[in-house]
Chain A
C-alpha cells in the first residue's frame, strides 16, 4: 500500500520509542481523526479525551501496524473509530435512532456544534450519498446497520457508498485540475 515515505520514517522512529515522531504524526493526522471522533460522539470534551486516548493507543500499538496492509491514516482511523464506539457503548449513548438530520440540515445542530457538519466535497454529493458516507465513516455504523437506518436494501446501500466515493474522486480530480490551472496562470 502507498503509505507516505515521510510517514514510514516517522513510524520507524515511533517503533524505536521516539515520542517526537508521535507528535509529528499528531500534527499531521489529529485534525482528520478529531473530525471523525467529534462527529461520532458530538461532544467536544469527550472527543478531546478520545483523541488523546487514540494517540496513546497509537503509541502503544505501533508495532502492530503493517504498512504493507494499508495507509497509516486507515489504521489510525480504525483505532479512533473503535475507541469512540467503545466509549459510546460504555455510556449507553449509542442510540441507533433514525434521526440523522444532523447530516442534512443545520437546524438539528446545537449551537457550538457546527464542527460536526460535513463540509467540502462531501457537501456537494447527493443527499442520500452524503448520508450513506456519513453513517458509515463518520457515525460508526456498519453497512448492515446503516442500510436499515436509511431504509434501503443492503445491496442498494453498498452501491450508494461506491457511487459516493466515485463522485468524491471525480470532485477531487476537478479540484486538482483547478489548482493546476490557477498555478499555471500564476506562473
Chain B
C-alpha cells in the first residue's frame, strides 16, 4: 500500500496527532487508520506515548479554574447545541414546507377542476332533464297518435289559404284531439288560427292553433260532424268568422 509507506515514512502520523495536516492529508490518514492494521498499531503506540508525555508534562491548574468552569456552565445554563439534529430538523422542515406548498398548489388546482366539473355536471344534468322531458313528451304524443283508435285527418286549405295543410289526430275512444298546425302559413301578429267543431250546425270552439307548435292538444267535442279552421283576431273569438274559413274536413 503506497499510502501506508508514505504515511509512516513522511511522519504524517506525528502531524496528524497535533492536528496540523491539510484536510486532504487528514482524510488520507484517517482512511489508512481504518483500513490498515499496521498504520493503526503504529498510531496506537504513538498516541499512548503522546498521552503519557502529556501526563508527565502536566501542570496542576489552580483550583479556581474548575470552580469557574462549574460556575460558567451552571449559571449560564449553557446548552450544548447538537447541530446534527437541528440540520436534520431543518431539512425535514424545508421538505415539509415544499411538500405543503406542492400539496396546496395541487389542492388549489383540484378545487378549480372540481368546480369546473361540478358546473359541467349541473349543465349536463339540466340538459339531460330537458332531453328526458322532451323525450317523455314526444313519446306521449307518439303514443297518443300512433294508436289504432286514432283517426288521422288532413285539412287542406281552400282558395283563401291554398298552401295550408293541417293534420288532426282524432281519438274517439279517449276523446282527444291532437293537431299538427305546422303546415299553416304564418299570419300577422294581429291574427290567429282557431279550430271549431260543427255540432248540429253550431260551431263550438276547440282552441287556438299556432304554426310555431309541432303538436297541439285541443278540446274534443262530442258528436262533431266536421272540423273547421278560421282566421280570427289575435287571442281568439267567441264565434267563428265564417268568411275567414280556410279549411274543413268532415268526420
Contact = CB atoms under 8 A, between A and B. Distances in A.
B10 interface: yes
A86 interface: no
What are the nearest 5 A-B pairs in CB distance?
A31-B58, A32-B54, A78-B19, A158-B11, A120-B56
B239 interface: no
Contacts of B72: 52, 56
Given A56-B78, A162-B14, A168 B58 contact: no
B66 A30 contact: yes
Contacts of A142: 15, 20
Contacts of A68: 34
B56 A122 contact: yes
Contact of B54 (A59, A73, A165, A169): A73
Interface size class on chain B is 35 or more
Interface size class on chain A is 35 or more
Interface string A43-70: 0000110011001100110110000111
Interface in A18-37: 19, 22-23, 26-27, 30-36
Contacts of A2: 44, 47-48
Given A48-B62, A56-B78, A143-B15, A23 B70 contact: yes
A34 B73 contact: no
Nearest to B19: A78
Contact of B50 (A27, A47, A73, A119): A73
Contact of B17 (A27, A62, A63, A74): A74
Contact of B51 (A38, A71, A138): A71
A118 interface: yes
Contact of B57 (A1, A30, A120): A120
A32 B55 CA distance: 5
B217 to A, nearest CB: 94
A73 B58 contact: no
B53 interface: yes
Interface in B93-109: none
Contact of A119 (B10, B33, B48, B56): B56
B55 A60 contact: no
B128 to A, nearest CB: 69
Given A59-B80, A63-B82, A119-B57, 10 more contacts: A19-B70, A23-B70, A32-B57, A36-B54, A74-B17, A77-B50, A119-B56, A161-B11, A168-B49, A172-B49
Interface of B: 10-11, 14-15, 17-20, 30, 33-34, 40, 43-62, 64-66, 68-70, 72-74, 78, 80-84
A34 B49 contact: no
A34 to B, nearest CB: 4
A31 to B, nearest CB: 3
A32 B61 CA distance: 9
Interface in A95-146: 115, 118-122, 133, 136-138, 142-143
Nearest to B68: A52
Contacts of A81: 18-19
B47 A48 contact: no
B64 to A, nearest CB: 8
A162 B11 contact: yes
A82 B19 contact: yes
B69 A26 contact: yes
A17 interface: yes
Given A31-B60, A31-B61, A51-B65, A168 B11 contact: no
B43 to A, nearest CB: 7
A17 B96 CA distance: 30
B91 to A, nearest CB: 18
B73 A172 contact: no
Interface string A134-176: 0011100011000000000000001101100100110010000
Contacts of B58: 31-32, 34-35
Contact of B69 (A36, A56, A77, A78): A56
24 contacts: A1-B43, A30-B66, A32-B51, A34-B59, A34-B60, A35-B54, A35-B57, A36-B54, A51-B61, A52-B65, A56-B78, A59-B73, A60-B81, A69-B30, A69-B33, A70-B47, A73-B54, A74-B51, A77-B54, A142-B20, A143-B20, A159-B11, A162-B14, A172-B52
